[in-house]
Amino acid sequence: MHWTERRERFRAILSGDRCVHPASVYDAISARIAEDLGFEVGMFSGSIGSMSVLGAPDLVVLTLTEFAGQANRICRAGNLALLVDADHGYGNALNVRRTVEELETAGICAMSIEDTVLPRPYGLSGKPSLSSIDGRRHCRRAKTRTSSSPDAPARWRLRASTKPSSGPRPVKRLG
């Protein structure tokens, strides 16, 4: 199936000057209802995917195959432009590449990928942590993505977190 028309429509929405609220969709029926109600964009995330596919809270056990399959069922149900939250890209740089390819093939129009370590480690601190990669490496990780289809590629963006700081740091003078 070719997804070009809806991706071009999604790009036009993004470049427009109005605020568009996406419908939260989780399966083919919710996507059809959202479209019937006049929504132009649907949002599908791992947390709602986990509940709809596994019947369990988001403990980061939903696989890429399950997530992409559900995204494809949502896309096939109608003509709703679908934006997905692809969490951490399901692993290392090669997994991120596969994530992008699988979700593009599924028919999504855009995705976000974050740099948070998932599943979240709980231990002495109990706080979420970030991947131990710098910004340049994270960009290279995302650029490993290629589109093998003749269809227009999906939009994607990276969401980078920052580590909390305890205040300004002294600046070291160079030269």
Own/partner contacts of 15-23, CB < 8 Å, gap of 24 or more, are 22/83, 23/80
Residue 147's pLDDT is what? 46
- CA–CA distance, 11 with 112 (Å, rounded to integer): 15
112, 156 Cβ separation under 8 angstroms: yes
Residue 137's pLDDT is what? 53
Residue 27's pLDDT is what? 96
Residue 110's pLDDT is what? 93
Interhelix angle 64-76/28-36, rounded to 10 degrees, is: 40
Taking alpha carbons only, the member of 155, 142, 143 closest to residue 4 is 155
Mean pLDDT by 10 residues, the chain (175 residues): 88 93 96 97 91 82 92 96 90 87 95 73 58 51 50 57 52 49
